[in-house]
């Protein structure tokens, strides 16, 4: 694999940060300085140094955060806005967010330095359900809930739909609904509601597959437990097995 990807895979930094380090002349491969992020690397065989310090594969870590509003899901923001990294404890290995929540959104956000695990969660074929609680600026009528499930054609012509929608609670002028996405697109819920003329007041992700936000305080972060990690891995395996069966059935017809 390329040198930039290797540094990311080893849990040293993100791939974009690795490319920047390499191009700035701070990385050596088998003792030779290289500025080529695509230089071929054999993991566990070749020696990589950053600023003449050997790089070793980091211990894999898995964390979850209850992201508050107004934070940007990135390591560095060009506009100087506060990022989700400000909420993580000091002294942790480098970790990358698994997917994103936009600045106005809240709730469950995963972090890890296990790039392969993150890729499995984000892969379109994984289809881990993601559940959101959404406060909308109107009373949720049955017609609205069914429209979200049937699908909404948004401004660019893309048809977006929710897997399940139900009413959680409502007041006189607004409601909370639960929206489950099978395969989320960028700002999918907001775009669907906007197309229907509905204002999104708050949007909170409460679960990813079997992993639930629970009572984790807003702005707090904690390590994913071994049991929670095993449950996620089990869900990923189940989806993969189901997909394999569907492909086999389709190919045999």
* Active centre residues (catalytic): 102
Q: How far is CA 94 from CA 19, 58, 103, 138, 216, in A?
A: 16, 9, 21, 42, 22
Total residue count of the chain as it appears in this document = 253
Non-local CB neighbours of 143 within 8 Å, separated by 6+ positions: none
Q: Where are the beta strands (DSSP E) in the chain?
A: 27-29, 32-33, 48-50, 53-54, 62-67, 96-98, 106-112, 130-136, 152-153, 159-160, 164-170, 175-181, 200-208, 211-212, 221-223
In angstroms, the CA 71 to CA 21 distance is 26
165 φ/ψ angles, rounded to the nearest 5 degrees: -140, 135
């Amino acid at each position: 694999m390329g040198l930039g990807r290797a540094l990311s895979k080893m849990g040293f930094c993100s791939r974009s940060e690795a490319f920047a380090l390499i191009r700035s002349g701070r990385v050596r491969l088998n003792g030779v300085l290289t500025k080529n992020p695509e230089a071929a690397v054999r993991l566990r065989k070749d020696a990589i140094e950053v600023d003449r310090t050997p790089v070793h594969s980091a211990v894999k870590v898995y964390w979850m955060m209850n992201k508050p509003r107004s934070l940007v899901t990135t390591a560095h923001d060009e506009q100087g806005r506060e990022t989700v990294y400000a909420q993580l404890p000091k002294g942790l290995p480098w970790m990358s967010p698994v997917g994103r929540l936009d600045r106005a959104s809240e709730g469950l956000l995963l972090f890890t330095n296990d790039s392969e695990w993150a890729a499995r969660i984000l892969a379109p074929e994984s289809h881990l359900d993601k559940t959101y609680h959404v406060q909308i600026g109107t009373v949720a009528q049955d017609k609205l809930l069914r429209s979200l499930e049937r699908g909404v054609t948004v401004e660019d012509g893309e048809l977006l739909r929710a897997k399940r929608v139900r009413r959680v609670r409502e007041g006189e002028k607004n409601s909370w609904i639960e929206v489950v996405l099978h395969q989320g697109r960028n700002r999918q819920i907001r775009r669907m509601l906007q197309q229907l003329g509905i204002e999104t007041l708050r949007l909170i992700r409460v679960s990813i597959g079997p992993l639930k936000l629970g009572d984790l305080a807003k702005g707090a972060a904690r390590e994913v437990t071994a049991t929670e990690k095993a449950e996620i891995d089990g869900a990923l395996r189940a989806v993969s097995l189901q997909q394999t069966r569907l492909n086999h059935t389709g190919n045999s017809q």
